Amino acid sequence: MVPQDPDEKTFFRESVETFKRLASTFVAESDMVVRQGESASTIAAEATRWKADVVVVGSHGNTAPAAH
């Protein structure tokens, strides 16, 4: 799903650019993709496509589940 609202498109593009810039300061070499869609199925499909051994997913941490 591609954002339709021009402001949403701009936010998405700027977010990707910022992430790439920040990631380059911590990691010498990496592969990164940005996808939109339902989280679990989108991540699983991409990991399968890459035949990935490990998937690292970032989060703002604003919606962490409550401790049990």
Q: pLDDT by residue (tens digit) across 5-16?
A: 668 888 888 888
- Which tops the pLDDT comparison, 4 or 32? 32
Q: What is the mean pLDDT of residues 30-50?
A: 86
Q: What is the mean pLDDT of residues 9-27?
A: 81
- pLDDT grade for 45, boundaries at 50, 70 and 90: very high
Q: What is the mean pLDDT of residues 38-52?
A: 91
- pLDDT > 70 fraction of the chain, expressed in percent and rounded: 69
How far apart (Å, rounded) are the C-alpha atoms in residues 53 and 17? 26
